[in-house]
Homo-oligomer: A and B are copies of this chain.
Amino acid sequence: METGDRWVKDLGEQGLLQRLQAHCSPDIIGDDGAILALKSGYSLVVTTDVLVEGVHFSDRTTSAEDVGWRAAAANLSDLAAMGAEPIGLTVGLSLPGSLSVAWVESLYLGLNACLQPYATPIVGGDICRSQIITVAITALGQVQTDRAIRRDAAQLGDAILVTGVHGASRAGLELLLNPNKMPDWNDEVRKSLILAHQRPVPRLDVIFHLRSLSVQRVAGMDSSDGLADAVLQICRASGVGARLEHSAIPMPYAFKLLDPDLAMNWTLYGGEDFELVLCLPRSQAEALVQSLGGEAAIIGEIGEGDRVEVGDRFSVYPTQVLSLQSAFQHF
């Protein structure tokens, strides 16, 4: 930190912009707009997310670097959910003048740390003054025009696949808010659940697995608003129902020590795990589970009607009907 440049208001808009340009792509920043080339035969994919201080993050649970990472991860996850490779990100910030410049630079470090494995640049943005911090990200990607993953393309008989465990991010948040909860969990478990919350990894790798398996039709979305929400949204958009199998839904191993109802609630409704929920023919789903490895699993099947149920073939738990009302609402 240089002397005299400690707070956003000291640097002024031009000064802060210049400082932040070091974190952006030098080839495409510095004009009224950024110019990006698309591959021939590809369409543009666009997605936007807004994060607000006190709603999506707070000093208690999130460092500036984590805010940046999560903002980038959420947007890259949306691109992955469309089957698109990322090509760039824009960052619209509103900031209090009393915020430290170090906070803003850490935000950009977090953004770039998440973007780095995908060689994705920050290609533009805007900053202005506000009483609270708002981070509005728009991510740009490209997809072969006929290979986009749409949520309205699920068909009867499709297997429903998740690319990993759900509930870990929700458990990590709980540990950050109430460090004394879950005394049975050891430090390693705590760390890994907190990391799942702070540094979720967007599943852009799935696109390459789908490509190498030559999967032609796949419906899906990401599970940013929870696993239940994802299945419900896909079913609503596709005009179908679904039956999930209780015992097939992967959750963090540490959830064995939780009350089973709480464990399933966090897994279904926790949100922010940023996995993909995909619907595709069973044989291809099995090949994809094999190819992905890890905790990827087939958790159910698309059926008729409009209900989404969680059944239990061991008859321990009663059949549960999922609803959007139980999911997280922003207002």
User: Which residues of A come within 8 Å of B, CB atoms?
Assistant: 8-9, 11-14, 16, 30-38, 40, 43-52, 54-56, 78-79, 81-82, 84, 87-88, 90-94, 97, 123-132, 134, 136, 138-141, 143, 145, 148, 150-152, 221-222, 237, 324, 329-331
Contact = CB atoms under 8 A, between A and B. Distances in A.
14 contacts: A13-B329, A13-B331, A31-B150, A33-B46, A33-B141, A36-B44, A38-B44, A44-B44, A46-B90, A49-B126, A50-B94, A52-B134, A92-B136, A128-B330
Contacts of A11: 331
A52 B88 contact: no
Contacts of A56: 128
A245 to B, nearest CB: 25
Given A33-B81, A92-B92, A125 B48 contact: yes
Given A40-B40, A82-B33, A46 B88 contact: yes
Contact of A138 (B36, B38, B84, B90): B90
B90 A55 contact: no
A33 B47 contact: yes
Given A31-B221, A93-B50, A132 B129 contact: no
Contact of A48 (B9, B51, B90, B329): B90
The 9 closest A-B pairs by CB, nearest first: A136-B136, A33-B47, A92-B136, A32-B81, A138-B138, A13-B330, A50-B92, A48-B90, A32-B78
Contacts of A136: 48, 50, 92, 126, 134, 136
A40 B130 CA distance: 41
Contacts of A88: 46
A52 B150 CA distance: 34
Contacts of A150: 31
A46 B123 contact: yes
A26 to B, nearest CB: 12
A126 B37 CA distance: 25
Given A31-B82, A55-B130, A129-B331, 4 more contacts: A33-B82, A37-B43, A46-B88, A46-B90
Q: Which of A44, A45, A93, A127 has the most CB of B within 10 A?
A: A44
A20 to B, nearest CB: 13
Nearest to A40: B40
A323 to B, nearest CB: 12
Contacts of A92: 48-50, 92, 136, 138
A55 B90 CA distance: 21
> Which of A31, A152, A237 is most buried by chain B, counting CB atoms within 10 A of its CB?
A31
B50 A140 contact: no
